[in-house]
Structure 1
């Protein structure tokens, strides 16, 4: 087989942002100026160090992109510094739209008649961007990043995309051939975690294998997370 036709492998690491300062526990969605907490910055530093260690062990980490929201750009900053890579903001990595954005969602909020039309179909879901839409944009950006990494670093090159829990979880469920509707409490996509998409051939059109890791797990005890935050 000629080198022109040889398979080109690549890995795309989907990094979830660190903990956000959100004392009122609202659904912040795409709202601006929601910054990482002090602990969230620590998580981002740990993730950056874990990726730098991976590079020291021989990985070719050559491309970095992030959702344009504050919390993802702040998470990407130490990764950029550790790997000496420019951050490429990409709207396709952004948090989904959500009708409940800006609200602390509790029983009294959900009882308001004005919200009922947005809760009629949790399988879609009816309160925001559909699961299928999220899968489509995430699949596009992941495959593009994998191919871009190979263009820059050759066979086996790797990229890092900093995004949010739900889009990452949708990308994973799609790659694993699972139903998109799910219980938010069962998502395996913790703060500053890495959901790594491993492509044996970026041009074959086959779904990647998924490897999950939590470099900041030692910082989790005592954290009360909002599903999807």
Structure 2
């Protein structure tokens, strides 16, 4: 079975003193802690490459926080950062707002909160999972072409699309409680993909920057 591993890397902490749901808004850069997280991931991948891992592809969402997270790893591995639009953050009606119970009680929002299973406030979970898994399959095939069996790729993305892709790959329902996502800042959701069929044959979750998580932002989807 020809296979490659694709690491879905969530970006680092973002500077967001107002606590808004920034979604796809521009100019939300990494915080100082976020930059430390990005450096930590670069060190993690550099160690793996030193130990023999063949990491041959690196791409990120178009959003600045993902591009900034990818930059230290690109420098450490000598790779260029490609831009992969299919792994961008999910669309969300509440983008730019601080989502509080008081805000949700405003009548203008009611049509958007009728169906949390889809969800009605943004891009459907199915659509998110489909685009991220399609990008991962293409990255796996490209990595295999460049590096052969066991080669690896890194895609820097966002919490909700990564989580939707994981749920889909594991055959679990896509509707979920956002507070229970296992996808912390700069965590890795690593998919080993059969490049001949595109199927996910194994999945592993790790937190290389776990020591930096205490005190970091915990807004779901941020």
TM-score (structure 1 length as normaliser): 0.95
Q: Does 1:212 align with 2:205?
A: yes
- Report if aligned partners of 1:184, 1:227 keep a CA contact under 8 Å in 2: yes
Corresponding residue number in structure 2 for 1:96: 90
Q: Does 1:86 align with 2:80?
A: yes
- Which stretches in structure 1 are left out of the alignment for 5+ residues? 1-6
Q: CA deviation at 1:157?
A: 0.7
Corresponding residue number in structure 2 for 1:117: 111
1:63 counterpart SS class: strand
Corresponding residue number in structure 2 for 1:142: 136
Corresponding residue number in structure 2 for 1:59: 53
Paired residue for 1:132, among 122, 126, 139? 126
Q: Does 1:227 align with 2:216?
A: no
What is the rounded CA distance, in whole Å, between the counterparts of 1:223 and 1:75 in structure 2?
15
Corresponding residue number in structure 2 for 1:41: 35
What is the rounded CA distance, in whole Å, between the counterparts of 2:34 and 2:149 in structure 1?
33
What is the rounded CA distance, in whole Å, between the counterparts of 2:84 and 2:217 in structure 1?
29
Q: CA deviation at 1:196?
A: 0.4
- Which stretches in structure 2 are left out of the alignment for 5+ residues? none
1:30 counterpart SS class: coil
Q: CA deviation at 1:228?
A: 1.0
- Report if aligned partners of 1:168, 1:195 keep a CA contact under 8 Å in 2: yes
Corresponding residue number in structure 1 for 2:62: 68
What is the rounded CA distance, in whole Å, between the counterparts of 2:130 and 2:214 in structure 1?
34
TM-score (structure 2 length as normaliser): 0.98
Q: CA RMSD in A?
A: 0.8
Q: CA deviation at 1:223?
A: 2.4
What is the rounded CA distance, in whole Å, between the counterparts of 2:216 and 2:90 in structure 1?
23
Runs of 4+ in 1 over 3 A off after TM superposition: none
Deviations along 1:53-76, one digit per CA (max 9) or x if unpaired, are: 111111100001100001000000
Q: CA deviation at 1:52?
A: 1.1
182-191 or 218-227, which deviates more: 218-227
Q: CA deviation at 1:221?
A: 1.2
| Alignment coverage as a number of residue pairs | 222
